[in-house]
Structures are given as structure tokens and as C-alpha cells.
Amino acid sequence: MTIVHRHENWMEVTMRRERLRIRLLTLVAILALLVISIVPSVVAQEGEPIRVGGTLALTGFLSPTATLHHIAGQAFVQHLNEQGGLLGRPVEWIVFDDESSPDNAAALYERLITEEEVDLLMGPYATANITAGMNVAARYGMVFPHHTASLTYVYDYEWHFPAWHIGLNTHITTNEILFDALENAGVEPGKIAIVTNQFPGSLNLAFGNDVLEPGGAAIIAQERGWEVVL
């Protein structure tokens, strides 16, 4: 009986120690999270800034949309720095105005890499300028995240990363989103006219391409019961 009693006491002591250990580990984890949430903002002010370079169409015919990208980007950089920056360093976003011109975008990305010596690149707006900037990034082997490019199916640079959610078949998925929205809103199919500019990305969205499966607004509209008059 004495042996059993001692065994029971030993088990109780072991369980108490285990509970204490778990509580201590939990306390340490909580303290660590508190430190992580407080310290980065201080550390970020001490390191050299990470310089991210890119262009946007702040003037020209693309400027109404590109300006929204600029506002959103500035807000994100501010939020990022308030949270401690990137890798404990503040982030500086260098943005040049490409004036809605692919040629200007290419020249400015060359400048960002060779003269400004930025650490990272961010793609411009929109498809034509993204393509021009990507060609420069590829020449220097720099990673090139981008958004709003609708010619993703022709890009073969291994270090480009599209952030748009519409995937490879942009001529299909983008239009399906539109017609799904019309259908969910209770809009009955009727007549539709498709008017576009001559940019490759716009033509791809409107009429598809010869590389991937058929698509484009004209085809998707007909599949959804719409009469395409133009």
C-alpha cells in the first residue's frame, strides 16, 4: 500500500509540474507576441530603408485609374511602416510618372535599376506599360510583381508574378465575372455593343486570342444569351 501511495504522490507532483510548465510556456509566448508587436516599429526607424521602385500613369489617358493605384499604394506603405516595415526596415516607395506611355515606362525602369539602384521593383499600370517594364526587369534578372496585366498568357519571364486574381485566361474569367454580376443582379440578356481601344490587352478581353481557348466578351456574351450588335 505504501508503494502505491508513493506512486500516486509522484504522479500528482508530475502533473502539477507539467501544468506549471505549460503555464510558463504560455506566458512566455504571450510576452514574445507583445514584444514582437511593439519592437518592430522602433527597429524600422534604425535600419536603412528598403527602396521599392516603379512607375504609374499619373498623367495621360490612363491617369484616372492609375491615380487610384497610387493612393492605395501610398496608404499601404504608410500602414506597412507603422507596423514595423519590411524585415525590420522602413519601406520607401519611389514612383515615377510614365505619362501612360510604354516607352517612358521602359526608360524609367531602366533608370530605377541603374541610377536609383532600387532594391525591389513594382509593376506599373496597365498591360502595355507592364509588358515594357517587365522586359527591362528581365534584362537585369529582377523580380517583377505586377497587377492588372491581361496578357498573362504571353509572359514567360520566370520572375514575374501577377497579382490580379483573374488567372491565365483573362479573356474568359474577366468577362465571366461581369456577366455573373449582371445575372445575379437580375439583368435579363438583351443587346450589347463592345467598344474598345486598340491595345492588345483590351482586344484580348474583348475578342480573345489565337493562343488559348476561345473567349472574349463577344463570345461570352453570346454564350450567355446576349445579342452582340457591335
128: preceding bond cis by omega (within 30 degrees): no
Largest CA distance in the chain: 97
Check residue 15 and give its pLDDT. Answer: 53
Q: All 3 cell numbers of residue 57?
A: 500613369
Q: Are strands 191-192 and 120-121 parallel, antiparallel or unpaired?
A: unpaired
Task: Give the range among 137-151, 157-171, 182-196 with minimum mean pLDDT.
Answer: 157-171
pTM above 0.85, yes or no: no
| Of residues 77 and 15, more confidently modeled | 77
Annotate 155-199 with three-state secondary structure.
CCCCCEEECCCCCCCHHHHHHHHHHHHHHHCCCCCCEECCCCCCC
The CA R_g of the chain, rounded to the nearest whole Å, is 27
Quickly count: other Cβ atoms within 10 Å of residue 205's Cβ: 25
Q: Which helix (H) or strand (E) holds 96?
A: strand 91-97
192-199: list long-range contacts, CB under 8 Å, 24+ apart.
192/221, 192/226, 192/227, 192/228, 192/229, 193/228, 193/229, 193/230, 194/218, 194/221, 194/228, 194/230, 195/230, 199/126, 199/127, 199/128
Q: Are 106 and 132 in contact (CB under 8 A)?
A: yes
| Tens-digit pLDDT profile for residues 165-220 | 767 788 898 899 999 999 999 999 999 999 998 887 788 889 988 877 889 999 99
Check residue 162 and give its pLDDT. Answer: 87
The percent of residues in the chain predicted with pLDDT above 90, rounded, is: 60
Q: Any idea which architecture 50-162 has in CATH? A: 3-Layer(aba) Sandwich (3.40)
**CA 149/CA 160 separation, integer angstroms:** 11
| Tens-digit pLDDT profile for residues 80-133 | 999 999 999 999 999 999 999 999 999 999 999 999 999 999 999 999 999 999
